[in-house]
Amino acid sequence: MMYKTKILIIFITLIFILLSLTTQSLCYLDLYAQDLDAKFEYDNNVTRQRLPENHQSGIIWKLYTGLGVKDIIPTDKLETDARYTLGMRDVNTTNDEDYNSHEFDFKLRGGNIFSFKEDFRIWNSQSDLFHFYNNVIESNIGHSFGKRTSAYLSYKYEQKWFQNKKPEVQARNFYYHQFSIDLYHSISDDFKVQLGYVDQLKAYNRRPIDFKGGKPVVLDGIQKDRQRVIVLGFSASVFNNTSLLFSNQIVRSDSNSKAFDFSGNRTHLVLLSQPLSKLWVELTYQLVAYNLGAYQTADLGYELSETRTDDQSGIKIGLSYDLSEQLSLKINYEHIKNTVFFTKDFYESDSASVGIKMKF
């Protein structure tokens, strides 16, 4: 607990040091209020149950807002932005699904050459099983090769730790280091392609397992996964005021815990259109399909498999209409079908929401 508190203190102290670098710098600070995003949502399976007879529907109220400050460092060569974001969710049928979150993030950008971001989040859930802290650090360096080609080198670190001391909850604590390279090339003004590679090393707060005779055997050490991803994508203007974004990730994950070996694809497709001057339409489709190294059977035994597939798919339709320069009406529908990783169980849910977004 002391270690986690120190991280929060260090982060807040860093912000205050930057704010007080010089008295003169305060004259250049740009304090602003973040957009207020509020909505009511209906979900027919709030608790994500497998059987339809166990589905529990609910009305969900969500609110996101906050404040920020720009130009902390008084120089024209650097862009800085420090923000605090408050998130709230309340479900009328079950307190276990309620939460509030506090997010502190700091961004530093030097044109298109480099960027740095740190994001620290506190997640307070009514269910103690989901009370956690999360810290993410990202840095990017970019370089252009002519007018049409650019490359970016990135590093990302994330650590997540839960406050509940139950062993099964503590086992979900993790951290990882991730390195990636992305290459973008504009074939024309309306068509850009992407080629990328990601290498992630991840460690969990649990011991690895193997299988002997269909039964799990706990090994020494901690679980470590190495995930390698090849990214293929493009963005295109398909016709007036309409853009198409496509990304396909070819994934291979090797672990010293047999249950977490897998390979597969993650496909993401977004169609964004502006049919009217004040109306935006966004259609998102996502499909994740994994071939797993092991899965849990009905009698709680385990089997190794090269053909077992887990799927996660979803579709989302969003409408945004500008009522004024400061106020927008937002309507969304989402369908999720999820075969839970490592088990034969699955759930489906449908949700619809209506809300407003207010700019300050």
CATH number, position 310: 2.40.160.60
| DSSP annotation of 47 | T
Is residue 184, in this structure, part of any structural domain at all? yes
The Cα 233–Cα 140 span in angstroms is: 19
Alpha carbons 132 and 161: distance in angstroms, whole number: 6
The verdict on residue 129 lying in a domain is: no
In three-state secondary structure terms, 286 is strand
Count of domains forming the chain: 1
With respect to residue 191, please indicate whether it lies within any of the assigned structural domains: yes
356 domain residue, yes or no: yes
Is 68 a member of any domain? Answer: no
The boundaries of the domain holding residue 222 are 173-360
| Helix (H) or strand (E) segment spanning residue 12 | helix 2-19
- The CA distance from 329 to 315, in Å, is 20
In a domain, 248, yes or no: yes
Asked if residue 312 belongs to a domain, the reply is yes
- pLDDT tens digits in sequence order for the chain, 360 residues long: 444 444 555 555 555 555 454 444 455 568 899 999 999 999 999 888 888 888 889 999 999 999 999 988 777 788 999 999 999 999 988 777 788 999 999 999 998 789 999 999 999 887 767 789 999 999 999 999 989 999 999 999 999 999 888 888 898 899 999 999 999 999 999 999 999 999 999 999 999 988 776 677 889 999 999 999 999 999 999 988 999 999 999 999 999 987 778 888 999 999 999 999 999 999 999 988 877 665 544 444 444 444 444 557 899 999 999 999 999 999 999 998 877 554 445 788 999 999 999 998
DSSP letters along 181-209, please?
EEEEEEEETTEEEEEEEEEEEEEESS--E
Query: How far is Cα 211 from Cα 259, in angstroms, rounded to an integer?
Result: 9
